[in-house]
Amino acid sequence: MFANISDSNKLMADLADSNVQTKIGQWTIVWSPVIYDHDTKSQVWDNIMCVAKGQNLTTNNPQYVVAIAATNPQSVFDWLQEDVNTHNMVLWSSTNPEQGHISEGTNTG
C-alpha cells in the first residue's frame, strides 16, 4: 500500500525546505513511500520505505538512498512477529544456503 498523499507531500515539502537543503543538499523521491501493514484494519503501519536521489556532497556524484523505517513502536505485530521473533532461524535465500541464516522475524519484515 502506498503512503497517503498528505504524508508524501509532507516528505516532499521537507526535502524542498531551504534549511534542510543547506544541511543535506537537494534530494527528490524517486520511489513513493510504500507502507507494509499486516492488518489493514489496524490503521497502524508496520514498516515503511522509500527511495530518494541526491548528490554526494563530497564527490558531487549522484547517489540513491533506500530509507527504511522498520520498527514502528505502535505496531504490536512489528514488535512480536518481526523484532522479537529471533529464536527460529531460516535460510537466507540470497546467500549460500549452507551458511546464511537470518532470524524468522527479520525474514518476515
Domain boundaries, the chain: 1-69, 73-109
> Among candidates 84, 3, 106, which has minimal Cα distance to 49?
3
pLDDT of residue 8: 74
Query: In this predicted structure, what is the pLDDT of residue 105?
Result: 78
Say which DSSP state 17 is in.
-
Report the b/e string of 88-105 with b at 16+ CB within 10 A: eeeeeeeeeeeeeeebeb
For residue 106, what is its C-alpha cell? 527479520
pLDDT at residue 49 tops 80 = yes
pLDDT in tens, 66-104: 988 777 777 777 777 777 878 888 887 766 667 777 788
pLDDT > 80? residue 50: yes
pLDDT of residue 96: 66
Please enumerate in sequence order all residues whose Cβ is within 8 A of that of 1, keeping only pairs 6 or more positions apart, or say none: 34, 35, 36, 37, 40
Q: What's the predicted TM-score (pTM) here?
A: 0.63
DSSP 3-state assignment of 85?
Answer: coil
